[in-house]
Amino acid sequence: MQGGSSGIGYGLKYQARCISDVKADRDHTSFLTGTLSLKEENEVHLLRLSSGGSELLCEGLFSHPNEIWDLASCPFDQRIFSTVFSTGESFGAAIWQIPEPYGQSNSSTLECVASLDAHVGKINCVLWCPSGNSDKLISMDEQNLVLWSLDSSKKSAEVLSKESAGMRHSLSGGAWNPHDVNSIAATSESSIQFWDLRTMKKVNSIERAHVRNVDYNLKREHILVSADDESGIHLWDLRKTNVPVQELPGHTHWTWAVRCNPEYEELILSVGTDSAVNLWFASASSENKTAGSPVEASRQRVNPLLNSYTDYEDSVYGLAWSLREPWIFASLSYDGRVVIESVKPFLPRR
């Protein structure tokens, strides 16, 4: 199914790549996004959907010293978030706190809680532990994983352990397993790697070229979804990873990111450099597979593509479901356009 967009838009002043749901905000449907300008002062925008759901409002505007390449909201404190940034010559990562009071009338200064300064190479992402009030987080550069303990009250972060992925692997990102806080999945040029954080050792891998992004299914313990540059989207049962349990075609150009819905296990979103956001219905499990047919589950539905949102003029890099209202998602294209959409017409019957 093809569709344009009936969503609610918001424009940033500069180019941008990343957007995050503010999971700790239980009272509002909120998102954080940051800009990517080499010459201008960059900004972090706190956006909230109005109570009637008809407007996207800027509730806070904050100056950020550098280009923002990754942004993630703290899962237990709505005022805290992380960024990975570039000065133009080097990369860094830090934890920030939104000051109070705040507003959009002028650009407020963020409070730096801690600098994640244990890296020397290009930092790719920061992952927050998804479990409750855990103070653990992971930062990742192309060669190393660093496990941190954050003390926001003391404005400090301590390195708990650090491990190299090896020179043969160039790490690009990852996801923390919501079903096992001691496990993360890391993407590289040639594989998806699974790490045990208790030992900081790689315990398994899926050999797969050009994996761009991964996400765990919150409702299905053993299901991981991957986005590949050229070969689309794959669903994996982590108990048996020799072949994917379902394949989806992805995008007409690179598939950049995938996100599993936090409540409706069959719904998956993807974005790509073809300027589109795709909504998929994926019901695969290893039990659904038949002998000799690794993608039988995907054939049970004639067209797994529920909708394609195409109201963009540039590549779409940022994507986030709302945890508070799981039928709502936000997307962000490189030209700084944020769009909020509702998938209520496509929710599976229960």
Phi, psi of 158 (to 5 degrees): -110, 135
Q: What is the pLDDT of residues 40-88, one digit of tens each?
A: 899 999 999 999 899 999 999 999 999 999 999 999 999 999 999 998 8
Look at residues 189, 160, 158, 157 and name the one whose alpha carbon lies nearest to residue 173. 189
Asked if residues 227 and 210 have their Cβ atoms less than 8 Å apart, the reply is no
CATH number at residue 38: 2.130.10.10
- 275's CB contacts (< 8 A; 6+ apart) are 310, 312, 313, 314, 315, 316, 333
Number of domains in the chain: 1
Specify the pairing of strand 211-216 against strand 267-272: unpaired
Mapped onto helix, strand or coil, the DSSP state of residue 22 is coil
Q: What is the mean pLDDT of each run of 10 residues along the chain (350 residues)?
A: 72 97 96 94 96 93 95 96 93 94 69 94 95 90 95 93 85 96 93 96 89 95 90 92 91 88 96 92 63 42 87 93 97 97 88
pLDDT for 102 equals 65
Identify the pLDDT of residue 18. 97
Start-to-end C-alpha separation, the chain: 22
Residue numbers of the domain that contains 52:
8-283+299-345
String of DSSP letters for 115-140:
E----SS-EEEEEE--STT--EEEEE
Structure tokens at 100: 């109070």
Confirm whether 52 is domain-assigned.
yes
Residue 49 lies in a domain: yes
Does 293 map to a domain? no
Domain assignment present for 290: no
- pTM, 2 dp: 0.91
Give the residues across from 19 on adjacent strands.
33
In a domain, 60, yes or no: yes
Q: What is residue 297's predicted lDDT score, i.e. its pLDDT?
A: 43
Under 8 Å between Cβ of 226 and 191:
no
Q: Give Cα separations from 239 to 207, 232, 287 (angstroms).
A: 15, 22, 12
Closest residue by Cα to residue 159 from 188, 119, 187: 119
**Dihedral sign computed on CA atoms, order 163, 19, 205, 262:** positive
The residues near 7 (Cβ < 8 Å, ≥ 6 apart) are 309, 311, 339, 340, 341, 342
Number of helices followed by number of strands (H, E) in the chain = 1, 29
Whether 160 is covered by a domain: the verdict is yes
- Each residue's pLDDT tens digit, 8-28: 999 999 999 999 999 999 999
Within a domain: 16: yes
In a domain, 350, yes or no: no
